Amino acid sequence: MNQTLTVFSPAKVNLHLSIGAKRADGYHDAYSVMHALTLHDTVTVRCEREAEDAPIAVDVRCTTHGGVDELSIASEDNIAYKAIMALADEFGLSDAGYRFTVHIDKHIPHAAGLGGGSSNAAAALLAACRVFGIDPDDERVFAVASKIGADVPFFLRGGCAQLGGRGDVFERDLAPMNAPVVLVRPDGGVSTAAAYRAFDESSGRADLQAQGVSAERAKDVQLYNNLAAASETVMPELVEAKDWLQQQAGVARDAITGEPCVLLSGSGSATFCVCESMNAAYAIVSAAKQRGWWARSCSFTSAGARIVEGRVPGAARTNVGAVHKSW
C-alpha cells in the first residue's frame, strides 16, 4: 500500500488573547479567539506499508520559501513527527509496519506567533488518520492533538474559534471573515517561553472573565493581547513594527474605538493589521519589505488543515502576497 497526500496547513492569528496566572501544571490559563489565514505551508505525506509487525518509521524534512529562516532540527524533534507517532501509539498502530515520509514546504515563519508548527502537526494528524482509516473527528484524535500542543486542536477545526483552558479547549465557533490581512515580522523571533517568563515577572494580570468576548462574528471582536507588552520587552523591535503599521494608509479601524486594527499575534514576532482592501495590503507589504522586514498579504479564511482533493482553499490570495504579483 502506497499513498501520497497533500495537506493545506494554514497560519493563524489571535484576534483576542488574554493570559492569566500560571497554573500548578506549569501552563497558564488562556482565553483566546483564533482565526485561520490563507497564508499556509504545504505538507506532503507519503506512506508505504512494510511487514505488518515492523515498527512505525517517520522521516520529516522541511524546505523554506519566501525569506523564511531554515529549520535546523532533527526529524524526531519536529512536531509533525511527534504527531504521527502519538496517533499511532494511541490507536495501537506503533508496530503495524507503516513508513511515513513527510515533506513540509514552509511559508509560515517560526517563532512568529502564527502557529506554523501546530498547523503542521494538525496536517500530519489528518494525513495519518486517512492512512490509518481513523475518523479525524474521533475524540481521541483531538486528545492527541491537545497533548502535542495547545494550538493543534484549533487547526483541526479552522475558521474562527473561541478557546479556553490553556488555549486548547474549544468553546464555540464565531462566524469567520475574509478581510485582507498584512503580516509583518522584523528579523528574529520571540521564544514563547521567554515571553511567558517576562509576563510572569511583570505585575500585570488579566481578568479572564472581564476580557471575555461576546461577539458572534469574527469581524466584531475587539483586538486584544495582554501578552504583547511582555513580548515587546523580549524583542523591542516589535514596538517599531506596531507603530509603523498603525500609521499606514488603508489599515481598517475598530468600529467602536476608532483605533487602527493592528495587533501582535500571540507571543509574536509577527504583527498583523486588517486592511480596507487588498490593494492597500499590497502597498503596505511593499513598504514593509523596503524596511527589510518579512511581510506577506493574505486574508482570513474559514478553512483549517485540510487534505487537498482539488483546489487549495483560499488559493486566490495566499503565499506570494497577491495574485499575479511577486514581491
DSSP structure string for 127-177 = HHHHHHT--TT-HHHHHHHHHH-TTHHHHHH-SEEEEETBTTEEEEEEB--
pLDDT digits (tens, 9 = 90+) for 22-68: 888 888 888 999 999 999 999 999 999 987 789 999 999 999 999 99
12-50 in b/e form (b: 16+ CB < 10 A) is: bbbbbbbbbeeeeeeebbbbbbbbbbbbbbbbbbbbeee
Q: For residue 321, name the pLDDT band (cuts at 50, 70, 90).
A: very low
**Average of pLDDT values for 69-83?**
93
pLDDT digits (tens, 9 = 90+) for 108-145: 999 899 999 999 999 999 999 999 999 999 999 999 99
Is 323 within the bounds of a domain?
no
Q: At residue 312, what are phi and psi to the nearest 5 degrees?
A: -70, 130
Q: Active-site residues: which are they?
A: 12, 151
User: Could you give the number of structural domains in the chain?
Assistant: 1
Mean per-residue pLDDT for 143-168? Answer: 94
Q: Give CA–CA dist 226/218, Å, rounded.
A: 19
Looking at residue 210, its pLDDT comes to 45
pLDDT band at 309 (very low <50, low <70, confident <90, very high): confident
Amino acid occupying residue 179 = A
Compute the chain's Rg from CA coordinates. Answer: 19
211-231 exposure pattern, b = at least 16 Cβ within 10 A, e = fewer = bebebeebbbbbbbbbbbbbb
* Nine cell digits for residue 5: 497526500
Look up cell 487602527; give the residue.
Answer: 260
| Position 24 in a domain | yes
In a domain, 183, yes or no: yes
Q: Percent of the chain beyond pLDDT 90? A: 76
Report d(CA 207, CA 216) in Å as an integer: 21
pLDDT in tens, 227-275: 999 999 999 999 999 999 999 999 999 999 999 999 999 999 999 999 9
**pTM (2 d.p.):** 0.91
- Do 247 and 209 meet the contact criterion of CB atoms below 8 Å apart? no
Alpha-carbon distance values, 191 to 111, 132, 182, 188 (Å): 6, 34, 22, 10
In the predicted structure, residue 211 carries a pLDDT above the cut 70: no
CA distance linking residue 127 with residue 94, whole number of Å:
16
Give the contacts of 90 (CB within 8 A, at least 6 positions apart).
140, 143, 144
What is the reported pLDDT for 112?
94
Q: Identify the domain containing residue 287 by its residue range.
A: 2-307
Residues 6+ apart with CB under 8 A from 40: 8, 9, 10, 11, 107, 108, 119, 312, 314, 318, 319
Please report the pLDDT score of residue 212 as a whole number: 55
* 138 Cβ neighbours under 8 A, 6+ residues apart: none
For residue 206, pLDDT over 80 is answered with no
Tell me whether residue 217 is in a domain: yes
In a domain, 70, yes or no: yes
User: Is 313 inside a domain boundary?
Assistant: no
Mean pLDDT (the chain) is 90
Could you tell me if residue 53 is inside a domain? yes
Residue 20 DSSP SS3: strand
Burial class (CB in 10 A: 0-12, 13-18, 19+), 208: middle
Q: Which of 37-46, 49-58, 79-88, 289-298 has the lowest mean pLDDT?
A: 49-58
CATH number, domain of 183, equals: 3.30.230.10
Q: Is residue 319 one of the residues assigned to a domain? A: no
